[in-house]
Amino acid sequence: MSTHLPVLIPLFPLAAALAVFLLPGALSRLAALLGLGAGLAAALFSLHLFGAAPWVYNLGGWPPPWGIVLAVTPFTGFLASLFLLLSLFGWFYSVASASLSVREERPGKAFYSLLSFFTGVLLVLLLARDAFTLYLCLESALLAAAGLLLALNARNRTESFHLLLYGSAGASLFLFGLWLLYAANGTLNLDDLLSQLFISRNFPVALTAGFFTACGMAVPLLFPAPFLSGRLPVQTPPAVLGALSTMLSRGAAYLLFVFFFFVLDVPGLAIPRWLQALEYLAAAFFLAGFVRAFRQKDLRHAVAYLGAAQLGYLFLGFAVGDKSALAGTLLEFFNQVLVTAGLFFIAGNLRTSAGPQPVSRLAGLARHRPLTGLALVVFLASIAGVPPTAGFFGKFYLLQGALEKGDWAALALLSLSLAFNFLYFARLTAFLYEQRGPSLAYGPPSAALKAPVLALAAGVLLLGLFHHAVFQRFVEPALPKAFQNVPVPNVPFLGHEVE
């Protein structure tokens, strides 16, 4: 029985999605309970497994490279647990905001079915070691996300259509990259692909496939930046949108990490200068989102930009690519999941009507709502890299990596964005603690709605305080083998003699 545990993590939400879908429409409460139960069960298995990782499971008993493998490493197990936590928070907010009369309709069974499905496919995306399964998960996640947005608000039809259309166009590019790899190597197993690419030394295919893979992820990564998603941040409950977008964008970023460093990073491969320049341009494009975020007048737009802008740090880590930079990138993964979701949850908690949420109304918020204000300060501090938050240590390792490699372009981009973010962190903190009358501040969120935000803020601080343990337990085993003093490349299945 215990050998089947890894598959149970995604299986519970996927089975719940089907069960909820088959329920009669009137039983929406039972649907909600089924979704909750499946999420909790999957979270328990995930927590159990990442403590005892690594686990490898062959679907249907088919061994690799032909069968589909699910691998639970400490890193993916922990990330899966965070995703499940966000999914449960999304479930909680969808129920709580409706029962607390925030002028939102109680979601029906379609919402719970799609949320379970979305969570299930993203968990498979984290665990699967098969390229086509990853494409399938990406398409399914986009489909479920589009359906969820429509289930949350019928006015989101155009935005849902665009997310699915452009996301699927990106997925087509990703699929083309996979076809190229398959055509050159005859396999779809990620570990086997690396082995075959190394044996054939087919560097042009690796570079081309990497280019198409990266292009294919643009839409999920940028979701829900307002220039791409239209009125989505305004028309959708921010807390649920936060859970969705954080899982989708960070899942896509993790997919890129796996492809760049575990499939296409063939020893001896030299990345051309124009491709390196593109990497820095992509990172700079995302980091420029900070400027756009702080220029927004509406809180939900600002939070949506902040969510996408933080991905710039991950891309800088990918571009630098040494041990310290990648360690910082992986720490940033955990940090960004908590911070991005936390910011959306705060925007959701402060939402008392369907109207605009001006940033100017945050003045004096921390004096009248001290816990919410403090959580907001913690999240902003983590974005700006202020100790002892997890963001500080992630960015510290990134800076160290850029310095060790002598990568001045990355160092300049990092320093600039950190200085800018620190300046705005200081200004916003002063703004939050301004002396203002309570009438200007947002209304009080209930204690129940505050709990997830405080839990995420505490998580950001705990990750920072125990960063050394997190690094040793989760981050270091997830680094490419080259940084673990293990011979490269890893040829686990075929037994070929590799020099």
Partner 1 sequence: MSVEWLPLLHRGLLVLAALAGFQGLLREVSPIRKAAAWMVLQAGLALLGLSLSPRPPHPDLSSVPVNPLTHGLVLSTLLVSLGVLSALLMLGRGIRPQEPEKEKRKPK
Residue ranges in contact with partner 1 by CB under 8 A: 65-66, 132, 135-136, 139, 143, 146-147, 150, 157-158, 160-161, 164-166, 168-169, 172-173, 175-176, 178-180, 182-188, 196, 200, 494, 496
Which pairs with CB-CB distance under 8 Å and at least 24 residues apart come from 95-99? 95/32, 96/446, 96/448, 96/449, 97/237, 97/239, 97/348, 97/449
**What does the DSSP 8-state code read for residue 442?**
P
CB of 172 to partner 1, least distance (A): 5
Which amino acid is located at 293 in the chain? A
Which pairs with CB-CB distance under 8 Å and at least 24 residues apart come from 176-185? 176/212, 177/208, 177/209, 177/210, 177/211, 177/212, 177/213, 177/216, 178/131, 178/132, 178/135, 178/209, 178/213, 180/205, 180/208, 180/209, 180/212, 181/131, 181/205, 181/209, 181/263, 182/131
Nearer to partner 1, 188 or 399 (CB): 188
CB of 165 to partner 1, least distance (A): 6
- The rounded radius of gyration (Å) of the Cα atoms in the chain is 22
CB of 260 to partner 1, least distance (A): 21
**What are the distances in angstroms from CA 345 to CA 229, 335, 416?**
19, 15, 28
Nearer to partner 1, 175 or 214 (CB): 175
CB of 359 to partner 1, least distance (A): 30
Nearer to partner 1, 161 or 466 (CB): 161
**Helix, strand or coil for residue 56?**
strand
Nearer to partner 1, 164 or 365 (CB): 164
In degrees, to the nearest 5, what angle opens at C-alpha 219 toward C-alphas 239 and 253? 80
Nearer to partner 1, 39 or 64 (CB): 64
CB contact at 8 A, 233 and 308 = no
What CA–CA distance (Å, rounded) separates 21 from 296?
A: 39
CB of 217 to partner 1, least distance (A): 16
CB of 434 to partner 1, least distance (A): 43
Nearer to partner 1, 64 or 452 (CB): 64
CB of 146 to partner 1, least distance (A): 7
Nearer to partner 1, 447 or 497 (CB): 497
Nearer to partner 1, 95 or 215 (CB): 215
Nearer to partner 1, 147 or 452 (CB): 147
DSSP code string of 103-116? S-PPP-HHHHHHHH
Give Cβ neighbours of residue 68 (< 8 Å, ≥ 6 apart): 58, 59, 60, 62, 128, 129, 130, 133
Nearer to partner 1, 14 or 377 (CB): 14
CB of 410 to partner 1, least distance (A): 32
Please list the alpha-helical segments (H only) found in 350-387.
Answer: 365-368, 370-384
Nearer to partner 1, 185 or 335 (CB): 185
Nearer to partner 1, 5 or 136 (CB): 136
CB of 160 to partner 1, least distance (A): 6
Question: Is residue 40 exposed (0-12), middle (13-18) or buried (19+ Cβ within 10 Å)?
Answer: middle
CB of 171 to partner 1, least distance (A): 8
CA atoms within 13 A of residue 490's CA, in its CB half-sphere: 17
Please list the alpha-helical segments (H only) found in 202-272.
Answer: 203-216, 218-222, 226-229, 232-235, 238-258
Which amino acid is located at 65 in the chain? P
Counts of helices then strands in the chain (DSSP H, E): 24, 2
**Helix, strand or coil for residue 152?**
helix
In degrees, to the nearest 5, what angle opens at C-alpha 64 toward C-alphas 13 and 197? 115
CB of 190 to partner 1, least distance (A): 14
CB of 134 to partner 1, least distance (A): 12
